[in-house]
Amino acid sequence: MKPAKVSKIIVACVVLHNLEKAWGEREAFPEEEDPQPPPIVQLDGNHDRQAIRD
């Protein structure tokens, strides 16, 4: 990239950052505080084995 374009991108990022701080907006992608793992499903395979044997 050309230096002039890079400097415009940096200025745009600074302006957006300052606007966000001034307006007090929340984060665009808030982090979950304590994500829960998916539940573990306990399968009882004894019934299937018995049906196959019979």
Question: Is the overall model pTM greater than 0.85, yes or no?
Answer: no
In a domain, 7, yes or no: yes
In a domain, 12, yes or no: yes
Mean pLDDT of the chain: 78
pLDDT value of position 25: 67
Query: What confidence category does residue 50 fall into, taking pLDDT thresholds of 50, 70 and 90?
Result: low
Give the structural domain span for 9. 1-26
In a domain, 16, yes or no: yes
Taking alpha carbons only, the member of 5, 31, 28 closest to residue 16 is 28
* pLDDT tens per residue, range 9-32: 999 999 999 998 888 766 667 677
Distance CA 50, CA 47 (A): 5
In a domain, 54, yes or no: no
Q: How many domains does the chain have?
A: 1
In a domain, 3, yes or no: yes
